[in-house]
């Protein structure tokens, strides 16, 4: 080798010493969501807030979190293509995917084939966790980061027993749900739990997501004279809410209404959502945990609206994915799965832990007051206020004059 002159050797040594070490490779988390929908847009928005916070605190062992976004356009086929690209081209380490059950169910086998951990922040179908239970060896990479449909129905019934039966003396209901994968187990549980709390089911209506005119449906419901319409709507939330209000349907709507969880819904319905009561697991006005309101405030400051329900879960998921990688000391997928199974993370929605493989809801979130539990929130005066349970409620239920409640 040619010996460098002294002055050049010294200069080279100084340059090497002065050059900072290259930053560690980032931890990449893919977010596959429905960017143009009210609920779906909250998923990448919330994930970016969490990543920014983690990175500001030094990342995970010095590795920064990088959110890689994909819009699936509410299409399972587009979501699968995005998942394949995330794994094979962008080399992500984990995926947060969708609030649409059909999309997540289409991605679930790919999560297994590509050995890529995936968590859904908003899809509800029981089949997501049941499939993991039935084929654990292949599908263990999927986690259910939101309440399964059966648990959602039970939460609605628990709240309706207090605010509907005990307080408002409701005795009858019509179930009105959109025809989708997530509402099959939801409605099946409604049919079981509503009679148990003293509510007689007068009819069970499953409507096409393509429905634009709800007049015949509401006319039929009015003719049955139920005390309440128990809802299971997500993708069709705006139109039935607007038409319910404009047609002055005299029956309150209580249940699942996913789009109503974001404050943009008030504008999208031109205020027609006033008095609608929806179930959720976190709300803008309630400190479910010490992390809930700070996150809500950060989201509102950044995006100008409150987060939809799956914004809270997506935010938490970035954190406990990062925590799992830290505990595993690796981004190896099997080590990540093992760490995720041991998750015990207080997020914005409560303490997140997952059921084990012996439970039929394998990798679904544990549901109880100790872990994650439900709330009932009502739109009042253009704001979302919590009306159940009593220990966190900050408002009493009220309805406009056109809604007729049962006589005491």
Structural domains of the chain, with CATH: 27-147+290-352 (3.40.50.2300), 150-280+374-388 (3.40.50.2300)
Which burial class, exposed, middle or buried, applies to 394 when counting CB atoms under 10 A from its CB (0-12, 13-18, 19+)?
A: exposed
Report pLDDT for 14: 40
State pLDDT tens for residues 312-355.
999 999 999 999 999 999 999 999 999 999 999 999 999 999 99
Three-state SS at 50: helix
Q: Which two tokens stand for residue 281?
A: 């697991």
| Cα distance between residue 271 and residue 101, in whole Å | 28
**pLDDT given at position 21:** 40
pLDDT in tens, 14-66: 443 443 444 579 999 999 999 988 889 999 999 999 999 999 999 999 999 99
Cis peptide before 159 (omega within 30 of 0): no
Parallel/antiparallel/unpaired status of strands 94-97 and 118-120: parallel
Provide the mean pLDDT of the chain: 92
- What percentage of residues in the chain have a pLDDT greater than 70? 94
Rounded to 5°, the CA angle 315-318-324 comes to 140
- CA distance to 73, 145, 206, 224, 280, per residue, from 188 (Å): 29, 21, 12, 21, 19
Mean pLDDT of 354-366: 97
The kind and range of the H/E element at 88 are: helix 76-88
Per-residue pLDDT reduced to its tens digit, 59-98 = 999 999 999 999 999 999 999 999 999 999 999 999 999 9
Summarised one tens digit per residue, pLDDT across range 367-407 is 999 999 999 999 999 999 999 999 889 899 999 999 999 87
Phi, psi of 94, deg, nearest 5: -160, 160
pLDDT at 157 over 60: yes
Q: Which whole number is the average pLDDT over 3-16?
A: 44
| Strands 345-346 and 172-178, bridge-based pairing | unpaired
Taken as a whole, the chain contains a residue count of: 408
Q: What is the DSSP string of 375-402?
A: EEEEEETTEEEEEESTTT--S-----TT
pLDDT of residue 237: 65
For 339, the token pair is 């760490």
pLDDT in tens, 215-242: 999 999 999 999 999 999 987 768 899 9
Q: How confident is the model at residue 186 (pLDDT cuts 50, 70, 90)?
A: very high
How would you class 286 by CB atoms within 10 Å of its CB: exposed for 0-12, middle for 13-18, buried for 19 or more?
buried
DSSP string, 297-340: HHHHHHHSSPPPHHHHHHHHHHHHHHHHHHHHTS--HHHHHHHH
CA neighbor of 123 nearest in space, from 142, 150, 149, 94: 149
């Amino acid at each position: 080798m040619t010996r460098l002159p002294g002055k050049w050797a010294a200069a080279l040594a100084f340059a090497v010493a002065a050059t900072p070490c290259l930053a560690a490779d980032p931890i990449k988390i893919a977010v596959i969501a429905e960017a143009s929908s009210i609920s779906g847009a909250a998923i990448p928005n919330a994930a970016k807030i969490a990543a920014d916070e983690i990175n500001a605190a030094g990342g995970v062992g010095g590795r920064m979190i990088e959110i890689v976004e994909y819009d699936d356009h509410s299409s399972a086929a587009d979501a699968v293509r995005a998942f394949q690209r995330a794994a094979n081209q962008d080399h992500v380490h984990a995926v947060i995917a969708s609030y649409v059950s059909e999309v997540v169910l289409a991605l679930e086998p790919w999560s297994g084939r590509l050995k890529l951990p995936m968590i859904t922040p908003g899809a509800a179908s029981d089949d997501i966790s049941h499939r993991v239970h039935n084929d654990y060896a292949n599908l263990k990479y999927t986690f259910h980061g939101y309440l399964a449909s059966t648990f959602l129905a039970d939460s609605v019934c628990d709240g309706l027993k207090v605010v509907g039966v005990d307080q408002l003396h409701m005795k009858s209901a019509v179930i009105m749900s959109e025809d989708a994968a997530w509402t099959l187990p939801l409605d099946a549980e409604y049919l079981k739990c509503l009679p148990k709390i003293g509510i007689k089911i007068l009819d069970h209506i499953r409507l096409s997501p393509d429905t634009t005119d709800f007049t015949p449906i509401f006319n039929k419901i009015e003719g049955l004279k139920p005390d309440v319409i128990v809802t299971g709507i997500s993708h069709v939330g705006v139109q039935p809410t607007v038409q319910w209000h404009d047609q002055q349907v005299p029956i309150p709507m209580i249940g699942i209404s996913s789009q109503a969880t974001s404050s943009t819904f008030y504008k999208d319905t031109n205020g027609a959502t006033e008095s609608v009561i929806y179930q959720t697991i976190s709300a803008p006005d309630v400190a479910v945990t010490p992390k809930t309101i700070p996150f809500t405030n950060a989201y509102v400051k950044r995006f100008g609206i409150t987060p939809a329900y799956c914004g809270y879960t997506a935010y938490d998921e970035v954190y406990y994915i990062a925590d799992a990688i830290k505990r595993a000391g690796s981004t190896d997928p099997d080590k990540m799965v093992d760490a995720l199974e041991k998750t015990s993370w207080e997020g914005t929605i409560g303490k997140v832990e997952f059921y084990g493989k012996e439970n039929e809801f394998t990798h679904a979130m544990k549901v109880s007051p100790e872990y994650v539990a439900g709330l009932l929130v009502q739109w009042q005066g253009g704001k979302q206020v919590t009306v159940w349970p009593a220990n966190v409620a900050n408002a009493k239920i009220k309805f406009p004059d056109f809604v007729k409640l049962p006589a005491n």
